[in-house]
Structure 1
Amino acid sequence: MTTEPVPIAPPGAPPAGVLATPADKGLRTGSVGLAAAVALGLSSVAPAYSIAVTLGFVTLVAGQFAPAALLLGFVPILLTAFAFRELNRAMPDCGTTFVWNTRAFGPFAGWLSGGWVVQCATVIAMTALAQVGAGYFLDLLGLDGLAGSSLAVTVTAALFLAGATAVAYRGVQLAAAVQYVLLALQLVALLGFGIAAFAKGGALTPQLSWLDPFGFDGFGAFAEAVLLCLYIYWGWDALITVNEETKDSSRIPGQAAVISTLVLLGTYLFTAYAAISFAGTGTEGLGLGSEENAGDVLAALGPPVVGDAFAKVVQLAVCVSAVSALLTCVVGSSRATLSMSAHGALPKAFSRVHPKYRTPSFGTVFFGATAAGVLAVLTLLSENFLGDAILCIGLLIAFYYGVTGLACVWFFRGDLRRSTRDLLLKGVLPAAGGLMMLAAFTRSAYDMVDPAYGSTSVGGVGGVFLLGAGSILAGAVAMIAARARFPRFFRYGRTAVADLTVHDTSGSES
């Protein structure tokens, strides 16, 4: 496995000239190449599903400037990807944000923003992906009655979760092989849809002006559209959680992160241009400004664009998109908690690695079962409650991406005067991305307090805000309990993640 030296040692980093190598946690090292890492990153975003369920809502806000919103929403994502790349080069650990934020800001920030918040967002996303995939699957089979049944959809979703857990349990190599097929189907379906839409002609002629960042009707519309777009790019960072299994752990995951985000941008802009040029942004008929079409643009436009037969292929692509993202969520979450456990911040059970498959056995099953339990509870409480839970993911994304962007700047602050490259890639760009994300977090939180935001409210406060802020608050409470359970991790601060503690049988943290 190739490693690269860290030229200058920021506070808490390895000394100058010392290779930054991931500590052995029992995973199968050197088994994931660049193509597999990119496939995992793209699949975790669920591009077909994401653009299908988001483009309509972005168009409702931005009209024909929806492509501009997609482009602007991409900017903080790309800047954050640079932060992830630089941090991974110095600390290629499958704990990613947990390790990086701990080394930069200390154990409290690392445990909460890099660990708890990330896992909360992922579990909530898993419930949504499983439910969406189940609904599409039943509809594809022509089982309209079951597709409309909450119980049938929940049971099918639980089966999808079980299947994804089983594949992830068998190893990241199998998961990557499955993702190649699922990702190829998504990209072919979106490409076919776009080509057909352009070939048919339609309501509007494509214009470069649709990318005009100053075309929005006021700052409120601009901010809302960009916030919506943050969600459709989220998930690519799951590929970095397999960095310890990648052939060049300090280089390839960072490259894959940048490549996957650029591929997403191209895919989304192509699909958006095709859909808007064909259907327009009107509020009647097939127009993307119609609220009836907003929930699933590809389902509404599929039959008239590509015919009923190929429309089923597009529908299948959205279904497998959700399922493939679900699989990647299981892979990423189990490795993140493996690292937290190995560094003494979670119970030892999470560090168990299967002797044959070399996967986090307990963590994989834990997250599959937890997501199934959360799905069942939220569905029993209210279907609207589940919808609000999905919306709150944006708040959690902006929070931990923002903190990680600033962590990059603080960790590498000693490097920033070495060269123009270091100043830009370790300082200016990550700082800009982090500040943009935290601004999005603040704006989102402000908007979500409104009881009219989302579908539920409690005591005059929006349910989406209560779920998002409540998840962070619950993490703070859980962290207090964790501090008592794992005192060594919280006592030694930034140096606590420098060495593995899971093999130490002394002390309460092991």
Structure 2
Amino acid sequence: MHEESAMHGLKAKGLKKGSVSKSAAVTIGLAATAPAYSLTGALGYGASESGYQLPIVFILSVIPMFFVALSYKHLTTSAPDSGTVFTWGAKALGPRFGWFGGWALLLASVLAGVAATQVIVNTTAIVFNLGETPLWFHFGVAILFILSTTYLTALGAEESSRTTMILTIAQYGGLIVLAAILLMRVMQGGAVSTAEPFSMEWLNPFAISSFSAFLNGFLVALFLFWGFDASLAMSEETEGSSEQAGRSGLIAMTITVITYVVFSTTALAYAGIDAQDKSSLTFKDNIDSIITVLTTDMIGAKGALIAALIIGVSAFSSTMSTIMPAARAALAMATYRAIPRRFSSVSEATQTPKFATWTIGLMTLVIYSTLSMISESIVKDSIHSVSIAICTYYTVAALSCVLYFHRTAFSHWHTALSQVILPAIAAVILIAVGILQAWNMMDPNYGSSGSIAGVGTVFLIGVVALFLGVPLMVFWNIREPRFFLGETLPLERAHMVFDNRDGIREAGKNLLSKSKE
């Protein structure tokens, strides 16, 4: 007997196989995590929560994400489908779970684009040395940024992945140089006077001061790693086998965690966490712009401009890397009749889903512009609220792996561990983290916009946006029920099948037993 794990009934969508190299697939995952602008906005808050134990918190927080990455690897090997969590959820959990997972993925991608647009607006203001940024400036930069990233993404997988690779190399190059300079300053005794020297205790999980310090730092860190799965949405276009395509997410995750641990360690050793010191990571004027502060301190007045360019490159490549998987998720959903068929169109010239790509880009522009007219703090809060959508679709992915492989995985301890046990642990952790994060978001003091009827605005944005998918799903169920009846993506599980010899032997045994009867 042998395991039959390949999902059946998957459809080709007109995408160009081999247009994305294996290295390009990894860089798409790296770009989507956006380390430069993620670190500049989160490193200070992480340090204020976890102190000098932030590096070990980063390491611990990647564990459930690594388990999710294992789920993606196994599911990609069985079903290299551009719909990823939508397709897997529909096959393993049922059409409604798959649809909702796809909706959460689309929502997270659009909100990530809103975040990147705000970063680009702030970066452009620094480049032009603008203290105040009028509304027309926000709109002008946003239109130019989103149209250019969407256009480059729609050119074709080969061209857009090549652009992403160049931008990612530039981004990582800047971070590596900055980390090297920080390390040299520390070794030469030029660290901030209030900073503590590096100690192995920073990597000791038992040295974390309290559970609260761990949990809050964990929440900050967990969502820094989001985005590694962008490369797996390109599995239908990645050269090589589906198993090789599945590894790209694990490679991207590994490189990302090394980057965060190394950079956070050098930044802590140089700047420290004394909130009273104007050069520390946790000083009130530094906490939102760590890369800019560190670069300015290292290089001087031009440091802010250099940091702005690094962060801008990060936001640009990140946006391209989130539009690509979102457009392909929409393509898959339309192919299997889960959303209007118009989204299933693929350009003959570029072999990319142009309509879906431009729709995602324009939705991002409309949402950013609308929120900007209401309040800039609303834009910031929409960025914070993305965590609920992320938890939702990663949970669907992990549970899909558990239920799809549970019949065959326990034939060997290794497959039982990587296909069922570890993904199940990831799902439990993500559900718990999502509930805790939602509870925190309900606090009127969480975020920048206060509350509505005593409930934090961040919570309302995140939850309302996510559960807006429910009436949309009900509407489409009424209009086009084939997908929801399981006709286009029927429920399926991995199973054991007889080899030819085993089948003949088993058939002979059955005939013999019948003849005796």
Do they superpose with TM above 0.5? yes
Paired position in structure 2 for 1:452: 445
Q: Does 1:364 align with 2:351?
A: no
Indicate conservation of the 8 Å contact 2:293/2:304, yes or no.
Answer: no
Q: Could you list the per-position Cα deviations for residues 312-362 of structure 1 after superposition, in whole angstroms to 9, with x for gaps in the alignment?
A: 333311111001101111111111000000011111110010110011011
C-alpha contact (below 8 Å) 2:231/2:249 kept by paired residues: yes
Q: Render the CA deviation track for 1:365-388: whole Å, top value 9, x for unaligned.
A: 101111000001111111111111
1:486 aligns with 2:480: yes
Deviation larger for 384-393 or 217-226: 217-226
Task: Measure, in 1, the Cα distance between the counterparts of 2:488 and 2:257.
Answer: 36
**Superposed counterparts of 1:149-164, under 5 Å:** 149-164=134-149
Tell me which of 263, 271, 274 is aligned to 2:266. Answer: 274
* Letter matched to residue 365 of structure 2: A
Question: 398-407 or 51-60, which moves further after superposition?
Answer: 398-407
- In 2, distance between residues paired with 1:343 and 1:41? 25
Aligned to 2:161: 176
Q: Distance in 2 between matches of 1:340 and 1:7?
A: 31
For residue 192 of structure 1, give the secondary structure of its aligned residue in structure 2.
Answer: helix
Q: Is the contact between residue 95 and residue 489 of structure 2 (CA under 8 Å) also seen in structure 1?
A: no
Once residues 466 and 487 of structure 2 are traced to their aligned partners in structure 1, the CA distance between those partners, rounded to angstroms, is 21
Structure 1 residues 405 and 494: alpha-carbon distance in aligned structure 2, compared to 1, 3 A threshold: farther
Q: Distance in 2 between matches of 1:271 and 1:180?
A: 21
- Structure 1 segments of 4 or more deviating over 4 A? none
2:9 and 2:489 in contact (8 A); partners too:
no
Where does residue 433 of structure 2 map in the other structure?
440
1:46-92 deviation line (CA, Å, top 9, x unaligned): 11111111100101111111112211221111110000000111111
5 Å-filtered alignment, 1:110-259, equals 110-112=98-100, 114-140=101-127, 142-145=128-131, 148-201=133-186, 202=191, 203-259=195-251
Of the three residues 409, 413, 416, the one matched with 1:416 is 409
Cα pair 1:22 1:92 within 8 Å, conserved: no
In the alignment, residue 482 of structure 1 is paired with which amino acid?
W
In structure 1, the residue corresponding to 2:266 is in which secondary structure?
helix
Asked if 1:107 corresponds to 2:95, the answer is yes
Task: Give the unaligned 5+ runs of structure 2.
Answer: 493-517
Structure showing greater Rg = 2
Per-residue CA distance 1:215-251 (angstroms, 9 max, x = gap): 3332222211111112211111111111100113512
Q: Does 1:82 align with 2:70?
A: yes
Query: Once the two structures are superposed, what CA deviation does each residue of 1:3-24 show, in whole Å capped at 9, x if it has no partner?
Result: xxx95347xx64xxxxx69532
Larger displacement relative to structure 2 (160-169 or 175-184): 175-184
Tell me which residue corresponds to 1:336. 329
Q: Distance in 1 between matches of 2:335 and 2:215?
A: 40
> Is this contact kept in 2: 1:63–1:289, CA < 8 A?
no
SS at match of 1:414: coil
Segments of 5+ residues of structure 1 without an aligned counterpart are 1-5, 15-19, 499-510
Decide which moves more: 352-361 or 153-162: 153-162
Q: 1: CA distance between counterparts of 2:265 and 2:229? A: 26
State how 1:2-81 maps to structure 2 within 5 Å.
7-9=2-4, 14=7, 23-81=11-69
Is the 1:102–1:493 contact (alpha carbons within 8 Å) kept by the matching residues of 2? no
State whether residues 95 and 340 of structure 1, in contact with CA within 8 Å, keep that contact through their aligned partners in structure 2.
yes
Query: Partners of 1:327 and 1:7 in 2: how far apart?
Result: 41
Rounded to whole Å, the distance in 2 between the matches of 1:469 and 1:446 is 11
Distance verdict in 2 for CA 1:22–1:107, change over 3 Å: closer
One-letter code of the match for 2:95?
A: P
Does the residue aligned with 2:482 lie in a helix, a strand or coil? helix
Code of the aligned partner of 1:151: W
**Partner Cα separation in structure 1 for residue 54 and residue 136 of structure 2:** 36
The percentage of aligned residue pairs carrying the same residue is 30
Residues 337 and 351 in structure 1, CA contact (< 8 A), matched pair in contact too: yes
Cα deviation for residue 214 of structure 1 reads: 2.8
Task: Give the direction of change, closer, same or farther, for the CA distance of 1:157–1:249 in structure 2 (3 Å limit).
Answer: farther
Q: Secondary structure at 1:28's aligned position in 2?
A: coil
Name the SS for the 1:490 alignment partner: coil
Paired position in structure 2 for 1:473? 467
SS at match of 1:8: strand
Contact 2:326 2:360 in 1 (8 A): yes
Q: CA deviation at 1:185?
A: 1.2
Kept in 2: contact 1:56–1:297 (CA 8 A): yes
CA RMSD of aligned residues (A): 1.8
Contact preservation (8 Å) 2:53, 2:207: yes
Q: Is the 8 A contact 1:45 1:236 kept in 2?
A: yes
Q: Distance in 1 between matches of 2:109 and 2:2?
A: 34
Q: What's the CA shift for 1:213?
A: 2.1
Q: Structure 2 CA distance, aligned partners of 1:325 and 1:21?
A: 32
Cα distance in 2 between the residues matched to 1:45 and 1:154: 25
Cα contact 2:118–2:379 (8 A) shared by 1: no
Post-superposition shift, 1:497? 8.1
Matching of residue 306 in structure 1 with residue 306 in structure 2:
no
Aligned residues of 1:122 and 1:333 also touching (Cα < 8 A): yes
Deviation at 1:154, TM superposition (A): 2.9
The one-letter code sitting in structure 2 at the alignment partner of 1:448 is M
Aligned to 2:511: none
Does the Cα contact within 8 Å between 1:126 and 1:326 map onto a contact in 2?
yes
Q: Does 1:97 align with 2:85?
A: yes
Whole-angstrom CA distance in 2 between matches of 1:221 and 1:447 = 14
1:36 Cα deviation after fit? 0.6
In structure 1, the partner of 2:456 is: 462
Q: Match of 1:506?
A: none
Tell me which amino acid in the other structure corresponds to 2:357. T
Distance 1:32 1:439, change over 3 A: same
After superposition, what is the alpha-carbon deviation per residue over 1:387-409, rounded to whole angstroms, capped at 9, x for unaligned? 11110111211121122112211
Secondary structure at the residue paired with 1:26?
coil
Separation in 2, partners of 1:83, 1:32? 22
Q: Any idea what the Cα deviations from partners look like across 1:242-293, whole Å, max 9, x if unmatched?
A: 1100113512221110000110011111111111111111012111121221
Q: TM (normalized to structure 1)? A: 0.91
Q: Secondary structure at the match of 2:207?
A: coil
Q: 1:212 to 1:232 in 2, by over 3 A?
A: same
In the alignment, residue 179 of structure 1 is paired with which amino acid?
T
Contact 1:281 1:288 in 2 (8 A): yes
Distance in 2 of aligned mates of 1:104 and 1:494? 14
Q: C-alpha distance in 1, partners of 2:355/2:288?
A: 36
Q: Which residue of 1 aligns with 2:383?
A: 390
The alignment of Structure 1 onto Structure 2 pairs a total of residues equal to 483
